[in-house]
Amino acid sequence: MNTKIVVATGIFLAGVFLSSCSKVLDKAPLDSYTDESVWKDLKLAEAYANNIYNVLPTFTVDWGNSLNRSVVLSSACDEGFSKFTDGYICGARTVLNKGLLSPDNAGSFDIWSKNYTQIQNANIFLSKIDGVPGDDAYRNRIKGEVTFLRAYAYFQLISDYGGVPLIKAPFDLNSDFNVARSSFEDCVKFISDELDAAAALLANTNSQTGRASASLALAIKSRLLLYAASPLWNPTNDQAKWTAASNAAKAVIDLPGYSLYTGRYADLFTTKNSELIGVHLSGYQGEWDAFTGLEMMCFPNGYHGWAAFAPTQGLVDAFGTADGKYITDPTSGYNPQNPYANRDPRFYADIIFDGRPSGNPAYFPDRTTTEAQFYEGGYDSEQGYDTWNNSLTRYAFRKYMDTTFNFNATTQTNKFWILARLGEIYLNYAEAEFYLGHEATARTYLDKIRERAGITTPLTETGAALEARLRNERQVELAFEGHRYYDVRRWKIAELTENQPVRQVIITRNANTGVKTYTYQDIEPRSFDKTKHYLMPIPRTEINRTGLQQNPGYN
């Protein structure tokens, strides 16, 4: 029997002329290919492989049942907030933040089925590709891509669930589906080896086209080994694991062709540049894509955005002052009644706050100013435009945004989600070196990140203070990039960070003097149970079907 495989790609079918005497049932379907034909043509095999790229996060917001795990991770930890509770956008996040997560209600936040579907697709591909005739270099390139994508799918799974079943060959109707969970360490070893294998097959080039590359595989290996060395998975502080993490990060740092981007910091996230190691394009299709894209989701209501994901006051407070001091330092000069003055330059690039100019005035003729007005009665307040979309924290994300986006149009650019960049690798290396006792090296690489941001005062902290600085630098430098959710878990500090309420600022403006007053208060309690919430629950349907061991606390 010939199995039909639907290929979701940009391949165009050539016209086929059939004789008038051909039977209708003999015609090949025009929207699919037989299993036999796919594995006889490298271009069709590549088309099959292209569909597996769907396992990677993008900026496109999926309104179906499998929400993209990219920006939503922000509001699932202490850096972000969303007042929306729609099941497709923020419903699962709401369940998680209330401490109500169970094997039955993870909804779109759960990636188990999505990832194992793509792992099955990858296994089919890898079992067939060596028999497809054609150019060896071409075959090895797409084989390397799929090897990377399968490894990435497994990395996502173990980041959420811990050790998972390692399925390395395709299932068929005669397969035994009761595959036991492998240990976390065995999974890490398998994924690391697979990333090395992918790197050996792929070109070591700066890939900003949305394709996998050798350098991207090695960058994900750096992240993988950093996670494996962290307290959640390394409670005895095994130095060999930190050495492996350090070596993996340094291998990426030493790759040719990459450097920290020294142009305008905000442009790092919207333009192709020397820092980007790997990206995934969003693949916008046209009409109504404004409603799946980042600007619509995140801009303030006064610009006719939805503020679906907004920074918390806690994230805002994590940004220090221009000289690199914490705002809690009494010598920093920070004034909570003039809170946006003299801050870390990254703050101005990443956050839309009251008074921050944003947007192209040509697209907002109903505003008299491009400055954000989060104060009570302002354009972007709950008394302003589209009040159901106002940001309750009184902030919006500016990072990744095209601030001249035209909300009157129904299309937007093919924005990319950063899968890895050199700035993250510097931070990975600094952290690994710190835990190996090499504090001077850790400070050196932290200072490189801070100097690029415009902070020229070198670090002098040691010990616990330097550890706190490492964690603060990751929180600030990698904000809204999908890292914080996993960082607080692997550090085993989520029981502290995720049990804190979300805070907002209320800004009142004196109509006569224009003087503003700032009041800070809680808007959402959050709950994190340290006995179970460090890992996601495996879906109950999967437990019932396979008898897998559930993660602690979810039985």
3-state helix, strand, coil in the chain (%, to 5): 40, 10, 50
CATH number of 207-281+416-492: 1.25.40.900
3-state secondary structure 366-429: CCCCCECCCCCCCCCCCCCCCHHHCCCCCCEECCCCCCCCCCCCCCCCCCEEEEEEHHHHHHHH
Percentage of residues in the chain having pLDDT higher than 90 = 72
As a whole number of angstroms, the distance between CA 455 and CA 130 comes to 52
Give residue 289's pLDDT band: very low, low, confident or very high (50, 70, 90).
low
Report the predicted TM-score, pTM, of the whole model to 2 decimal places: 0.92
As a whole number of angstroms, the distance between CA 112 and CA 255 comes to 34
Question: Which range among 283-297, 390-404, 436-450 has the greatest average pLDDT?
Answer: 436-450
In this prediction, residues 427-441 reach a mean pLDDT of 98
3-state secondary structure 160-188: HHCCCCCCCCCCCCCCCCCCCCCCHHHHH
Q: Give which of 321, 376, 316 is closest to 352, Cα–Cα.
A: 316
Q: Tell me: pLDDT of 263 over 80.
A: yes
Domains of the chain, residue spans: 207-281+416-492
Percentage of residues in the chain having pLDDT higher than 70 = 87
Q: Give which of 196, 187, 181 is closest to 228, Cα–Cα.
A: 187
Q: Give which of 475, 476, 442 is closest to 459, Cα–Cα.
A: 442
Q: Give which of 182, 189, 258 is closest to 219, Cα–Cα.
A: 258
DSSP of 24-46: GGGSPPSS-EEHHHHTT-HHHHH
Tens-place pLDDT, residues 508-523: 999 999 999 999 999 9
Number of other CB atoms surrounding residue 415 within 10 Å: 21
Q: What is the pLDDT of residue 67?
A: 52
Q: Give which of 331, 355, 328 is closest to 341, Cα–Cα.
A: 355
Within 8 A by CB and 6+ apart from 405, the residues are 295, 299, 359, 360, 363, 412
Tens-place pLDDT, residues 202-233: 977 656 678 999 999 999 999 999 999 999 99
